[in-house]
């Protein structure tokens, strides 16, 4: 087996794509948390005017860790 083939196999084993259940589960949790954060900030008088994903999820470089979950880095822009 060539080095390139070994790398491709390794990459395919660790990459996390939008089709993965773990990805979908994480996005659902993120949306739930985001809704709660927006409500809390609004109630405190700081409405969220924008949000965006950052980090490995944004750059499509997220990998599957064999034991741990991955995190989603999200920025909130609030109106003060």
Position 69 scores a pLDDT of 72
User: What is the reported pLDDT for 58?
Assistant: 83
Query: Domain span at residue 54?
Result: 3-78
**pLDDT in the model for residue 20:** 84
Give the predicted TM-score (pTM) of the model.
0.71
Q: How many domains does one find in the chain? A: 1
Short-list 78, 61, 60, 71, CA closest to 27:
71
Q: How many Cβ atoms are within 10 Å of 58's Cβ, its own excluded? A: 14
Per run of 10 residues, the mean pLDDT along the chain (length 80 residues) is 93 84 86 95 96 86 75 89
């Amino acid at each position: 087996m060539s080095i390139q083939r070994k790398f491709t196999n390794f990459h395919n084993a660790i990459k996390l794509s939008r089709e993965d259940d773990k990805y979908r589960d994480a996005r659902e949790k993120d949306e739930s948390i985001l809704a709660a954060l927006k409500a809390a900030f609004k109630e405190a008088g700081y409405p969220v005017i924008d949000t965006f994903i950052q980090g490995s999820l944004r750059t499509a470089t997220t990998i599957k860790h064999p034991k741990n979950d991955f995190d989603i880095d999200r920025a909130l822009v609030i109106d003060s």
